[in-house]
Structure 1
Amino acid sequence: MTLDVRLREWLLDSDPAVRWQVERDLLDADPAEWQATRRRVATEGFGSRLLALQDDDGQWAGGSFFPAGFFDGPEADEPGQPWVATTWVLKDLREWGVEASALEDTAEKLDRNSRWDYGDLPYWGGEVDVCINSYTLASGAWLGADVAALRDWFPAHRLADGGWNCEAEEGDSVRSSFHSTLNALRGMLAYEQLTGDGRLREARHGGEEYLLCRRLMFRAGTGERVGEFVTRFVYPSRHRYSVLVALDHFREVSLYEGSPPDPRLADAVAAVRAARQPDGRWLQTAPLAGRTWFDVDAAEGEPSRWLTLIGTRVLDWWDAASRAPIAPGVDRVRPSG
């Protein structure tokens, strides 16, 4: 998609965490340009603000996944959960493009000082929840922590249908979850990209096949849509699945591995395209309930720079592949509406 001048300027008039990705993914800027913008994330805007909120012991809000004192305070009875503790902050900083060097000795501090709410387990060893473990795997790889044991956890806890489910460790489910599976896939891909270690690729490909067989949004048995959440686009998405987040993952895989888009993504692409407004933007839906350090995107019903960045790059990737010459033995993607 060729951005019109107004949309281009609106996207560029944003925090460096958004802007460098607009420059790289939508405007094909010279690497020196977007890399310079990316370096600004640690020194101004969202990234700088989060870094300044870090505790002396390496944590944020005094806790690993929940803030200190959460379970004994009034916040425990409120809707949602707080998004201010260490795991969520590291996830944001990494995805916004902050260089690991900006966090200095955070990995060592967390190794010494941070324990999981579940079982008082050490931070870089992870715990039993696949989503938490996926964030920790990626953050550990980013910061240079030893996450070898956690890396091996993922293939060992994959379910028989090919994916993962956060409820499986409690014995509550033997079926995979769209949410849990996508979080596992994103964590494993980030780990491989950051370390060059491909030992999780087979398990990741199997989990990706779980989603592809369901065309990212339908039940395998009945073909019915799994829920309205699949087309509820929100930023930050936290742990929440949507076809937009899933497509952004498959785009990243395609670019990383040099593979064409899978035709089974077409229905999800059509859903993303249908949500685009006539002016080329996507609207924010209701943000997930819970305390945050500060707002990083638009209010509900307003145009979202983050969603517009992600939606545009997904459609650009799909449409470019649809126009590309067909290589021998490769199926062209289907039109997506």
Structure 2
Amino acid sequence: MTITPTVSEAIEASVLFLETTTHFEPSHDEDSRHKWNGAWWHMAALHELGEVRRIPASAIAQAKRLLGTRVWPTFVIADSDGPSRTQDLDKWDCCHCELAVFYGVLQAYGCDLDAEMPWIRDWLLNHQLPDGGLNCDPDAYVHSRKSSIVSTLPPLEAILRHTDRPFTEREKAFLDAGARYLIEHRLVCFRSSGEVINADWLKPCFPRFFEYDILRGLSFLTEWAEKRGKLLPAKFAEQALERVQPALAGDSVRIGRQVWDADGEWGGETFALLDALAGVGKVSEPLSRQLNAMR
């Protein structure tokens, strides 16, 4: 993307932050997780901007160490899934979308987490529900057995975009079932009624971190269809783009919302790089490139 002087200066500020932060140290590891101004979020923002290689090698090493030593490598559904040893009790209890975003950032940088921490890929593949998606709410695995679109996308993206070899049969089944889930929900709709689940999902979001919008879902399905040799239903992409038409201006996409909006679902503190990016109502180069890659 075109890097303005303001954005360039903010990128440098994030690089300096990541070089000097204590967020990755054991006594501060919850700070690295803090939305939306912790260490992981500086890295995720750089990644989404196409600047993942600007992340300092020291921060990558510390992030890998944290994932390898401070995360409980099991999704806790029942009490028996949690840690029992005293030295493990303060480990992070991650969710699917969070873990998949962290994985994606490090893989995009060039790490080989499949060799170093194979439990992450296994985690994502192991928690697909019968409907084809995933859910970060442990209760869904006990009672409703229904997925969350927000929880589903990052794991699907992680497997689709960070597999540099032919997919295994298990991975093919995972991706195909996830794609079927999104298609059945028309990306944003209740399967039963066809009504839109959340109107905010029609507003393109950038940076996304692990938030969802219809363009994110459509981008995944377009890439899935190409890599898996599949066809989307007739007029599926066209109908999806019709839903987001108010945000489109020719080949450009205007940002419809941002995760740190004061009136939004999350809210929260920001940092210089987020503040320097195009705001709501402005054209986003990364989102526009994503749109045009689907056409």
Alignment of 1:1-337 (within 5 A): 12=2, 14=4, 44-54=8-18, 56=20, 59=23, 63-64=28-29, 66-67=30-31, 82-100=35-53, 103-113=56-66, 115-116=70-71, 119-121=89-91, 127-142=93-108, 143-145=111-113, 146-168=116-138, 171=142, 173-192=144-163, 195-196=164-165, 198-199=167-168, 200-254=171-225, 256=227, 262-263=233-234, 264-277=236-249, 282-285=254-257, 287-288=259-260, 289-294=267-272, 295-300=275-280, 302-306=281-285, 309-311=286-288, 313-315=290-292, 317-318=294-295
1:129 CA displacement? 0.7
Task: Measure, in 2, the Cα distance between the counterparts of 1:222 and 1:252.
Answer: 27
1:258 CA displacement? 6.3
Q: Deviations over 1:295-320 (max 9, x none)?
A: 143334x32324xx4246425633xx
SS across alignment from 2:31: coil
Task: Measure, in 2, the Cα distance between the counterparts of 1:46 and 1:209.
Answer: 40
Distance 1:129 1:281, change over 3 A: closer
User: Of the two structures, which has the highest relative contact order with CA contacts closer than 8 Å and spacing of 6 or more?
Assistant: 2
1:56 CA displacement? 4.5
Distance 1:109 1:217, change over 3 A: closer
1:158 CA displacement? 0.8
Task: Measure, in 1, the Cα distance between the counterparts of 2:143 and 2:255.
Answer: 35
Task: Measure, in 1, the Cα distance between the counterparts of 2:118 and 2:166.
Answer: 10
1:178 CA displacement? 1.0
Q: Deviations over 1:204-245 (max 9, x none)?
A: 221121001111121111222112122122322232211022
Task: Measure, in 1, the Cα distance between the counterparts of 2:101 and 2:50.
Answer: 15
1:58 CA displacement? 7.3
Task: Measure, in 1, the Cα distance between the counterparts of 2:127 and 2:176.
Answer: 15
211-220 or 137-146: which moved more? 137-146
Task: Measure, in 1, the Cα distance between the counterparts of 2:128 and 2:251.
Answer: 42
1:149 CA displacement? 0.8
Distance 1:214 1:86, change over 3 A: same
Task: Measure, in 1, the Cα distance between the counterparts of 2:224 and 2:49.
Answer: 18
Distance 1:100 1:161, change over 3 A: same
> What's the counterpart of residue 82 of structure 2?
none
Normalised TM-score (structure 1): 0.64
1:140 CA displacement? 3.5
AA aligned opposite 2:13: R
SS across alignment from 1:67: helix
Identity %, equivalent residues? 18
Task: Measure, in 1, the Cα distance between the counterparts of 2:259 and 2:188.
Answer: 21
SS across alignment from 2:90: coil
Distance 1:287 1:141, change over 3 A: closer
Unaligned runs of 5+ in 2: 77-88, 261-266
Task: Measure, in 2, the Cα distance between the counterparts of 1:213 and 1:279.
Answer: 27
How many residues of Structure 1 are paired with residues of Structure 2 in the alignment? Answer: 261
158-167 or 251-260: which moved more? 251-260
Task: Measure, in 2, the Cα distance between the counterparts of 1:134 and 1:244.
Answer: 19
Report if the CA contact (8 A) 1:84-1:292 is conserved: yes
Report if the CA contact (8 A) 1:230-1:242 is conserved: yes
1:151 CA displacement? 0.5
Task: Measure, in 2, the Cα distance between the counterparts of 1:253 and 1:16.
Answer: 36
Report if the CA contact (8 A) 2:219-2:294 is conserved: no
SS across alignment from 1:174: coil
99-108 or 200-209: which moved more? 99-108
AA aligned opposite 2:216: V
1:102 CA displacement? 5.0
Unaligned runs of 5+ in 1: 1-10, 18-43, 71-80, 319-337
Report if the CA contact (8 A) 1:234-1:287 is conserved: yes
Q: Deviations over 1:255-274 (max 9, x none)?
A: 55566655333321211234
Task: Measure, in 1, the Cα distance between the counterparts of 2:213 and 2:227.
Answer: 21
Q: Deviations over 1:138-195 (max 9, x none)?
A: 2342333423111011221111111001113675752101111112212222322xx4
SS across alignment from 1:54: helix
